Amino acid sequence: MKMVMLKTSLLRSIILCAIFFVSFLRCSSEKTNGVTEAEVLFKEAEESIGKKRYIAALEKLNAIRAQHPYSFYATPSELRIADVKFLQENFAESAADYQLFRDMHPKHERIDYVIFRLAESLYNQMPSTFDRDLSVAEDSVKHYQELLDHYPKSLFLKDAKERIENVAKQVRSREKYIADFYFKTEKYEAALWRYEYILGRFNDVELIEHAKVRFISSLNELNRIDECLAKSKEFAPQLGQPKLQELSLLVEKCGKKIAKLESR
């Protein structure tokens, strides 16, 4: 009886060991392969990114930075941290991380990508309507333009050009909105300054013609008749037919004001 119990206990131990060994082999085969712990962590982080498990990815990437700061994967981890925050749409944080990476690794082989993603992080913070502050979008243009000026072989040039044009369109719309607001609320001195600013900064034909007519109209409303007539004469050859008709009406108003003053 005692011998039977001993054999049963021995058999149970063998079975448990076999189960443990099989489980160990299975876990080992499921673990990401890698020569170093840093490599394993980096590959696991990439797998997490692929599955959109961004928090898990950041934990592994930060572990590489903290525990293996001199490994081959330390620098790629810094860049991927910025990428993950970009994918999470934490654009303020990703912009800061891309800028830091650029400062720390100015000669990096993917520096054009870093500059583009820095610009994208700023661009994606642009408000949805042009009547709000667009300074962050204008900052993005500086980086897009840098890409165009210094990295002519970059794969991101087409996107950079499109973003620059879109920001420029938003900025033009904002400036027109502000100037027109002052004009409509009869703040003609402020309107005059804003239209003059538009004339000195932009070259969009439609916007320029609008600004010229409104500039003259503001002079008229301010009873600056001599300037109104002088600017009308200067701007007339530069206007298309629809705006030229508006200008003619303004000149007529100025003429009537002069006649009225002379009759007194």
Q: Any idea what the CATH number is for the domain that residue 97 is in?
A: 1.25.40.10
69 falls within a domain = yes
Does one domain contain both 146 and 97? yes
Determine, yes or no, domain membership for 19.
Answer: no
**Out of 26-40, 88-102, 105-119, 221-235, which region has the weakest mean confidence (pLDDT)?**
26-40
Predicted local distance difference test score (pLDDT) of residue 14: 41
| pLDDT exceeds 80 at position 29 | no
Given 88, 119, 151, the domain boundary residue is: 88
Residue where one domain finishes, among candidates 171, 197, 215 = 171
167/100 Cα distance (integer angstroms): 24
Please tell me whether residues 68 and 124 are part of one structural domain: no
Residue 21 counted as domain residue: no
- The rounded distance, in Å, linking the Cα atoms of 59 and 93 is 16
pLDDT over 50 at 129, yes or no:
yes
Mean pLDDT, residues 213-230 taken together: 90
Same domain, 95 and 164: yes
In a domain, 26, yes or no: no
Do 98 and 68 lie in a common domain? no
For residues 203 and 250, membership in a common domain is answered with yes
Q: Which domain holds residue 105?
A: 89-171
Residues 77, 93, single domain; the answer is no
Same domain, 154 and 112: yes
So what's the pLDDT on residue 49?
A: 97
Q: Is residue 10 part of a domain?
A: no
Provide mean pLDDT across the span 181-193.
96
**Is 179 within the bounds of a domain?**
no
Confidence of residue 236 (pLDDT cuts 50, 70, 90): confident
101 shares a domain with 150: yes
- CA-to-CA distance for 85 and 60, rounded, in angstroms? 14
- Indicate the DSSP class of residue 42: H
Q: How many domains would you assign to the chain?
A: 3
pLDDT surpassing 90 at residue 20 = no
How many residues are listed for the chain in this entry? 264
Identify the band that residue 32 occupies on the pLDDT scale cut at 50, 70 and 90: low
Query: What percentage of the chain carries pLDDT values higher than 90?
Result: 66
Q: Is pLDDT larger for residue 122 or for residue 3?
A: 122
Judge whether 180 lies within some domain. no
252 and 197 in a common domain: yes
Q: Are residues 253 and 224 located together in one domain of the fold?
A: yes
Task: Tell me whether residue 7 is in a domain.
Answer: no
- Of 35, 62, 28, 31, nearest to 44 by C-alpha is 31
Whether residue 94 is found in the same domain as residue 162: yes
Q: Final residue of a domain: which of 171, 199, 224?
A: 171
